[in-house]
Amino acid sequence: MHRNASSGPLLIAVAVLLGGCALQPVQPWEKGDLAKPAMGFAGDLLEERYTQHIYTSKENASGGYGAGGGGCGCN
């Protein structure tokens, strides 16, 4: 009995927190705020572009760092 009473709020908290996992992915037309320079990992856009250019050539993959523009998938 005692165990049930204390796990109730915990279960509710877990359910609420897991609800956050059900967030819908950001759609291509919703990336206005994500496209802002402040949302990038790097402080300097030019430097980040340079770094990504090198990285792209090594990894054969590109994009996803906010340096290439508006999420158009066309680099």
Partner 1 sequence: MLFASLAAAIDAGAPAPDFTVAAADGKPLQLSAYRGKLVYLDFWASWCAPCRRSFPWMNAMQEKYGAGGLVVLGVNVDQRRPDAERFLAQVPARFMIAYDPQGAAPALYAIKGMPGSVLIDPQGRVVFAHAGFRDADRDELEAKIRAALPPRAN
Residues in contact with partner 1 by the rule CB under 8 A: 22, 24-25, 27-33, 35-36, 69-74
- CB nearer partner 1, residue 36 or residue 53: 36
Give the shortest CB-31-to-partner 1 separation in angstroms: 7
Q: Per the structure block, which two tokens stand in for 70?
A: 């508006």
Give the shortest CB-18-to-partner 1 separation in angstroms: 12
Give the shortest CB-4-to-partner 1 separation in angstroms: 30
Residue 33 DSSP label:
T
Q: Per the structure block, which two tokens stand in for 64?
A: 């996803």
Which residue has 């609420």 as its token pair?
Answer: 16
